[in-house]
Structure 1
Amino acid sequence: MCESETPCSGSSDDLPPLLLGTYTPRIDAKGRLALPARMRAQFGPGLVMARGQERCVYLLPRQEFRRIAMRIQRVSMSDKKARDYLRVFLSGAVDQEPDRQGRILVPQMLRDYADLGTEVAVIGVGTRAEIWNRTAWEGYLASQEQGYADIADDILPAVGF
């Protein structure tokens, strides 16, 4: 049984990428970040970078970005909060194609937004990845670990785990 909003064909090719793990690459002096090798193939030929929540930068496969943007746009015409979110989300979005070394340029606007210096963490979050200031990520993770088990008690039964 398929419970997603997209039609099911039974093929794993129809599933979005599954981005996992934590990596600690560096951003070079030119603002370039080498995508973790395990993630490169998941993104395909290109990706979209956008402002994320909690002051991180989202990295989304183009198809996933389009899916999210279309869902928000359907709501945005009648909902002021959705319109506001869409404006901020799309105005900060940048289409990127990795170079031959698998590097992407993180625009200064997004580096400023997420306070990204040289030391970053790239984390897989299922259908997207996030770039965090490494110190901010470590602080966020430490603050969430205590409640992780409590959250699991609420979330996992709801998803049938």
Structure 2
Amino acid sequence: MFLGTHPLRLDDKGRLFLPAKYREELSGGLVITKGQERCLYVFPTAEFERITDALAGAPVTARSVRAYGRVFFASASDEVPDKSGRITVPPPLRAYAGLTRDCVVIGANTRLEIWDASAWESYLQAEEESFAEISEEVLPGIL
């Protein structure tokens, strides 16, 4: 389970350090791909394989399944962190998420998300106001 908010910096070569608390879990490999709202999703390899299996079971005759799978897999990049816990974010993914220097890595349960720091702040400001209201819809009877 990935939790928390971790401010990080992208270096001139497009690399960033993974949050220290998750380096061991991700040391064997991970997959970075496009996420919603112009962030990047970072999945441990095993979680990406689980999602791949689930999508393989979806009907290929459904246009939305084909469209989502094309973008999701075509933009995916498998990475292995170096000994220091750094990963390289490929240029097309950096461009998609608008990543320049200041980034935020957030824990999102089974994945990490990489955001441009200012984009994350804007998103958080816009969504925090509705956070309490949507709990009834997202987690009915649980919280």
TM-score (norm 2): 0.95
Q: Which runs of 5+ in 1 are unaligned?
A: 1-17
Gaps of 5+ in 2: none
User: What is the rounded CA distance, in whole Å, between the counterparts of 2:83 and 2:27 in structure 1?
Assistant: 13
Q: Percent identity?
A: 45
Is residue 119 of structure 2 the alignment partner of residue 140 of structure 1?
no
* Superposition deviation, residue 86 in structure 1: 0.3
Partner of 2:86: 103
- Higher relative contact order structure (alpha carbons within 8 Å, sequence separation ≥ 6): 2
**Residue type matched to 1:79 in 2?**
A
Q: Following TM superposition, by how much is the alpha carbon of 1:76 offset from its aligned partner in structure 2, in angstroms?
A: 4.0
Aligned match of 2:107 in 88, 111, 124? 124
Rg comparison, structure with higher value: 1
- Larger displacement relative to structure 2 (33-42 or 51-60): 33-42
Contact 2:27/2:81 (CA < 8 Å) preserved in 1? no
Task: Report the Cα offset of residue 152 of structure 1.
Answer: 1.3
Instruction: Give the letter aligned to residue 55 of structure 2.
Output: I
TM-score by length of 1: 0.85
Deviation at 1:73, TM superposition (A): 2.1
CA distance in 1, matches of 2:96, 2:137: 32
Detail structure 1 runs of 4+ shifted over 3 Å in the superposition.
Answer: none
Residue 28 of structure 1 is matched in structure 2 by 11
For the Cα contact (< 8 Å) 2:26–2:81, is it kept in 1?
no
* Between structures 1 and 2, the one with greater strand share: 2
Residue of structure 1 in register with 2:25 after alignment: 42
- Is residue 27–residue 80 contact of structure 2 (8 Å, CA) maintained in 1? no
> Distance between the aligned counterparts of 1:40 and 1:112, measured in 2?
24
Work out the CA distance in 2 between the residues paired with 1:50 and 1:136.
18
- Cα drift, residue 72 of structure 1: 1.4
User: Aligned partners of 1:154, 1:88: CA distance in 2, in Å?
Assistant: 28
**CA deviation string 1:82-118 (max 9, x = no partner):** 0111011000000100001100000001000100000
User: For residue 63 of structure 1, what is the amino acid of its counterpart?
Assistant: A
Q: Give, in angstroms, the shift of residue 69 of structure 1.
A: 1.6
1: CA distance, partners of 2:30 / 2:21:
15
Shift of 1:43: 2.2
